[in-house]
Amino acid sequence: MCGIVGVVGAEDALPILLQGLQRLEYRGYDSAGIALSGPEGLALSKAKGKVSMLAARQDLLPRALPCGIAHTRWATHGAPTDENAHPHTDCHGQIAVVHNGIVENYRELKGELMARGHRFVSDTDTEVIPHLLEDYGGATDLLTAARNTEARLQGAYAFLAVSGQQPDYVVAVRRASPLIIGRGDAANYIASDFTAFLDATRRAIVLENGDMAAVTPKTIRIWNEQGALVDRPEMTVDWDIRQAERGGYPHFMLKEILEQPEAWSDCLLERVQGERIQVEAMGLARAALAGWERIQIVAAGTAYHAGLVGKALIETLARIPVDVDVASEFRYRDPILLPNTLVLAVSQSGETADTLASLALAKQRGLATYAITNTVGSTVAREAGAVGYTYAGPEIAVASTKAYTTQILLLTALALALADARHRARTDLVAKLASLPALAEQWLAASEGIRLAAQSLTDQEQMFYIGRGIDYALAMEGQLKMKEISYIHAEAYPAGELKHGTLALITEGVPVVAIATQPRLMAKVQSNVAEVKARGARVYAVGAAALQESWGDDSLATIAAPDPLLAPALAALPLQLLAYWTASLRGEDIDKPRNLAKSVTVE
């Protein structure tokens, strides 16, 4: 959600900031802005809409200034307007701030500041920050002012501040929302995400929660939440920047769907060896596996759907009871967490606010915690007791594809490892798991039929997804993808629930996607398909290859999984492509769907 970029010490900060903003567009935003700091003071430019609109106004900004901050905003307080776009400044235009997250007590602070004569020009919570900095003398001593300001703020946020009187100085504050510093030779960089500065440097320092940093062209000083000067470890980012660029594809989402065979190989590499899961390569100690009597999964959105697949696999293979909660609900239901429960947090970005709060609750209860994430150095990775990375590589499209399927693969590996620890080893499945990347590549190479099927959906207003058992979890993800990017209203139901109300909505021509990858449930799903066809529905079936004949003309995609329990990741591919091609044929903005953001760092 939103994106922050900063640079200090550059020969010309403007093009670096614009490129950084473009790299962060995938996070979701509705306006953008830049503030440059130089010997003559601050220069600002802000625009509602895309970064390209801001770039078109770059001639209005001075060049060859060494320092600047920039932002892509996703509206939380105040509508998307030029006035509400970041950066925001103090009364005299000497201090500029960009900010992610929410200042929860901004109304109280704003009232206090206005009573002292401060003038506000936006509807945002952010604007209280530069005015507080002004009150504390930030124009000439930005660091001290930031310390005093940060002590007044409540919420989850990150911000950068610059002063026109200190043109070689950026102060960065991180409380919950991510910030990363890139260490260069003659300049240093700050951003919400590695991708913003990968062209300039691969050396990165991840700020911890509560950290404050003072960054100059040659120095990086960091203080922790207690005010002590600390050294944070430096890491090397090994992503290929080409992975974060479209490479000729019309959309990042299509590129990332087609990258899944490679992502799956990276995810399983070193974790699947012969007939056994290498637990240590998943970030776990083998000795710990046998001690967990229950598992509690917390996640949001697509990661929640992956968690439902994980529940089915763990319970089937390891016979350990698993609960799965939407993270935003978990804390507020006063959950009963028994001893010897593993709390497993699943998050693509590793910065999902609700998931992090759920993880914190588990730690307060003294429980073991494990995180599955794609983002090295993310907050969830650092806060959890152990972490397994999905190694999907950068995922730019807001709608998750390869991050989701690699979550499923890692959860499958965890289920097999837990089964082994309970003397229920399935060595046959471990060996077959390694074959999935090649099977995915084969299926994707012959997937043109999905595009043809999508042509019949472009004029639809609603559709339904049905499945039973593990296929219902897949149906939930399939419908989410469809409505995320095509804006067709889609709903998922357990196939057996149709007769309990939903059949009232099945009329002539309504599309129904039926998922049946589990042979033992095939007859039941076919009966449900007959129910909707009898009422005129148009059926699109995703099922096991061995069952292809039984679907007849309804077949959308057949999945050649080596075992039904390994079908979910493969079955996700046609569901992703059906949503993609439907949205593409409708002419939608696929990579940046309206109102959505990649990393949800607020509750």
| Phi, psi of 17, deg, nearest 5 | -65, -40
Rounded CA Rg of the chain:
25
Please give the Cα distance from 156 to 512 (Å, whole number). Answer: 41
67 is catalytic: no
Instruction: Note the maximum CA span of the chain.
Output: 77
Residues 356 and 371 sit within 8 Å (Cβ to Cβ): no
Say how many C-beta atoms besides its own lie within 10 A of residue 203's C-beta. 17
Say how many C-beta atoms besides its own lie within 10 A of residue 497's C-beta. 14
Residues 61 and 32 sit within 8 Å (Cβ to Cβ): no
* CA 177 vs CA 33, 422, 596: distances in Å: 19, 39, 17
Instruction: Determine if the peptide bond prior to 574 is cis (ω within 30°).
Output: no
Token reading at 440: 């995915």
Token reading at 86: 């970041």
Indicate the DSSP class of residue 390.
-
Given the residues 50, 255, 402, 598, the one annotated as active site: 598
Q: Residue type at 388? A: G
In terms of C-beta distances under 8 Å and separation of at least 24 residues, what long-range contacts does 284-288 make, across chains too?
A: 284/370, 284/386, 284/388, 284/414, 284/417, 285/386, 286/417, 286/421, 288/368
Q: How crowded is the C-beta side of 169, counted as CA atoms within 13 Å?
A: 19
Distance between alpha carbon 535 and the CA centroid of its chain, in Å?
A: 39
Distance between alpha carbon 471 and the CA centroid of its chain, in Å?
A: 23
Residues 590 and 583 sit within 8 Å (Cβ to Cβ): yes
41 contacts: CB under 8 Å, gap ≥ 6: 93, 94, 164, 165
82 contacts: CB under 8 Å, gap ≥ 6: 31, 46, 47, 48
By residue count, the chain amounts to 603
- Which residues on adjacent β-strands are paired with residue 389? 373
Please give the Cα distance from 238 to 142 (Å, whole number). Answer: 34
Token reading at 415: 């289920």
Indicate the DSSP class of residue 232.
P
- Which residues on adjacent β-strands are paired with residue 172? 160, 213
Q: How crowded is the C-beta side of 380, counted as CA atoms within 13 Å?
A: 31
Please give the Cα distance from 496 to 525 (Å, whole number). Answer: 8
524 is catalytic: no
Residues 397 and 25 sit within 8 Å (Cβ to Cβ): no
- Stated as kind and residue range, the H or E segment containing 407 is helix 402-421
β-strand pairing of 67-73 with 3-8: antiparallel
Among candidate residues 342, 263, 320, 244, the one with its CA nearest the CA of residue 569: 263
| Residues with catalytic function | 2, 598
